[in-house]
Amino acid sequence: MKPDQQSDADSVAAPSASSAPVVDARELTKRYGDTVAMDGISLQVQAGEIYGLIGPDGAGKSSLLKAVAGVLAHDGGDLRVFGCLINSEKSSEQIKDRIGLMPQGLGQNLYGDLSVEENIDYFGGLRLLSREELRTRKEALLRSTRLERFRDRPMKNLSGGMKQKLGLVCTLIHEPKLVILDEPTTGVDPVSRREFWSILSRLLKEKGITALVSTAYMDEASRFHRVSLMHAGKILASGEPEKIRMLAQGAIVSSVCADASQQVAAVHRLTQTFPQLEVLGQDMRIFVDQPDPASAKAEVASCLQGIPQQRTEVLEPELEDVFIALLRKKDLAGKDEKNSAAQPAAQRHPDNGLAIEAVNLSRTFGEFKAVDQVSFQVPQGEIFGLLGANGAGKSTVIKMLTGILSQTDGKGRVAGADMRTAGRQIRERIGYMSQAFSLYLDLSVLENIRLYAGIYGLTRQQTAARMDWILDMAGLRPFGKALAASLPMGLRQRLALGCALIHRPQVLFLDEPTSGVDPMGRRAFWDVLFRLSREENVTILVTTHYMSEAEHCDHLALMYAGRIVADASPDQLKADVEKEAGKLYEIQTGDAQAALDRLQAAGYSSAALFGSRVHVLMPDDEQALRQMADVIADTGVLKVSPKRLAMEDVFVHIVTRLEAEDAKARGEKI
């Protein structure tokens, strides 16, 4: 089968809507004081489908999920679940035995001091399962989630991904007809995220369960049959992900300057014409309100006349691009702050060689080696990404480089000095934004800024100047007297960034700075980082769980079990994976789960389920494509098409290979 071979069917249909919906919401409203959490929300969830709610914090996702689960009363509208009108505590009780609810937060429905097995037994007891029912279901779910050999481990000692898998087991132990999952993969690394969705899809199909799931990750839309995009308590759009992508007419023009030094000038020129622009390393992604590829490309070329481009291509918009375009066209995107954070060229930090250097850096905690001979170099002005699964050692590396934690062995140098012995003068050259919020939430925005200015010994004049910069950079001028705790997550994180930059450090460390931040907030945050790097020559070392954010970095180091296992630019890492494992293909079939099972059984270990489609890495030749097509021939193949490799694919491939090698070394079955 050749790429793009397709039958008359355009896509795989979601479960039939002929029967009564499992969830039927009409004009639901909910207020918390002056805050409107749900503002006339209407949707229907059909039996057997995975329905996604996608949107930022404060969009109303959790309120809607809690209302459907019967644990939150709504103020107005009509809500029916399994055909039962939910309008009182008594009516809610009628459906709770058919519902499984997994709340937001890693392990929030679990007990830390209980073991994996004890948690499952506890939830089985709550659901009044017989001893035999509990034993049978428990063993099946432990096998499905690969938690068998961890049954005696306390929950508090599990990784983030394992906590979420255990939470899913406890949610499904009574075999509910409707499972409600509130941001189940937030804070979970890409390998665990992909495994979580694979397990969930298989279990739901086997048991005929319906799922209503919320997420802040736009790239997870492909996991769902249908989605609703939510913002400020309203639904912006609903439908199949592919059809929603067509709601905002436009194209993405991807362009790379022939001379990297001209990128800042190119971005400045583009932002005057195109309000939706994202910079990913050397790549500029411009959303053009023009669906015709040739016309879109011509518009960008005209804007960049005189700035030669190394490469320009037109791509289809991702769902995140569409979401932001819809907000922009409805005047919901907020004030554009792109030009407010710029600093004069005179403020640039000088190039003094390497800004960060790790040489065989190691750290042990008792018998556990958290960091094992880590080495890398970061030149001044570069954005350097440190990637890795939960517990890989990323935060420990940052703490050693900033002098917060001493190393067991090796050397860490920042701004030319060993941070163990660096004096105050050197320490003042670095800024640090920790994984936990580095703000005082009971202080106002202005009070937080003044506090940090005092810590770094700024004069009154310096404080006033930097305060102006921070308020403009973070879009916080209207919120100066507001408590930090009252700010939306995106603004709060930009305030934290501003406080870390109050003293104009030449090296900035950011530990998962955008976890839980909505797409608009993340893009605004990275726009600031780009300008700091390119215009002020600030060196930035950042850790992140968002693989799309890894594309923003000039260079990446991937950590696994405390070691650096890959160290290159994003483009080079993708090229290395393609050379090792082949091209990425997307397969549409009449039965995606069956296709996945057949591919995995045939040795296609990279095969993964994405809603109604399967992604797989394989050699880019006709024979390989024919062999793959033969394996899944009885699943009703509709279309096979090549896809661009994403950083998530790179991360998952490398980490999965290393996990398999480790399992083989331990003599375990893979």
Residue 334 in 3-state DSSP?
coil
In angstroms, the CA 161 to CA 139 distance is 19
Are 624 and 618 in contact by the 8 Å Cβ rule? The answer is yes
* 571-665 shares the fold of 345-568: no
What superfamily would CATH give domain 571-665? UreE, C-terminal domain (3.30.70.790)
Q: Mean pLDDT over residues 630-658, rounded? A: 89
> What's the number of CA atoms in the CB half-sphere (13 Å) around residue 6?
12
Confidence of residue 28 (pLDDT cuts 50, 70, 90): very high
Count how many residues are written for the chain: 670
Kind of pairing between the strands at 583-589 and 417-418: unpaired
What is the pLDDT at residue 10?
34
What is the pLDDT at residue 342?
40
Torsion sign across C-alpha atoms 239, 192, 160, 438:
negative
Segments of 216-325 assigned E as strands? 226-231, 234-239, 251-257, 277-280, 283-288, 309-315
* pLDDT tens column, 415-472: 888 877 776 667 788 888 886 667 888 999 999 999 999 988 899 999 999 999 899 8
- Domain range list for the chain: 23-244, 251-316, 345-568, 571-665
Per cent of the chain over pLDDT 90 is 44
Residue 118 has pLDDT above 90, yes or no: yes
Kind of pairing between the strands at 539-543 and 383-388: parallel
Residue 582 in 3-state DSSP?
coil
* pLDDT tens column, 523-559: 888 888 898 999 889 999 998 877 878 889 999 999 9
Per cent of the chain over pLDDT 70 is 93
Are 45 and 22 in contact by the 8 Å Cβ rule? The answer is yes
Q: Mean pLDDT over residues 133-155, rounded? A: 89
Residue 613 has pLDDT above 60, yes or no: yes
Are 378 and 555 in contact by the 8 Å Cβ rule? The answer is yes
What is the pLDDT at residue 152?
93
pTM, rounded to two decimals:
0.81
Characterise 77 by phi-psi region: left (phi > 0), alpha (psi -120 to 50), beta (else).
Answer: left
What is the pLDDT at residue 446?
95
Residue 188 has pLDDT above 50, yes or no: yes
Residue with the bigger pLDDT between 349 and 72: it is: 72
Q: Name the residue with tokens 């994405």.
A: 610
For all residues of the chain together, what is the average pLDDT? 86
Residue 5 has pLDDT above 80, yes or no: no
Are 251 and 316 in contact by the 8 Å Cβ rule? The answer is yes
Q: Mean pLDDT over residues 303-330, rounded? A: 90
The CATH architecture that domain 345-568 belongs to is 3-Layer(aba) Sandwich (3.40)
CA distances from 517 to 330, 513, 664 (A): 21, 9, 38
Residue 13 has pLDDT above 50, yes or no: no
Q: Helices 263-273 & 293-303, crossing angle to 10 degrees? A: 120
Residue 347 has pLDDT above 50, yes or no: yes
Q: Mean pLDDT over residues 106-133, rounded? A: 90
CATH topology of domain 251-316: Alpha-Beta Plaits (3.30.70)
Are 59 and 231 in contact by the 8 Å Cβ rule? The answer is yes
What is the pLDDT at residue 212?
95
* pLDDT tens column, 369-419: 899 999 999 999 999 999 987 778 888 999 899 888 889 999 999 988 887
Q: Mean pLDDT over residues 15-40, rounded? A: 85
Residue 195 has pLDDT above 50, yes or no: yes
Which CATH number is 23-244's, of 3.40.50.300, 3.40.50.620, 3.30.1150.10, 3.90.700.10? 3.40.50.300
CA distances from 238 to 17, 30, 64 (A): 15, 20, 15
Residue 340 has pLDDT above 50, yes or no: no
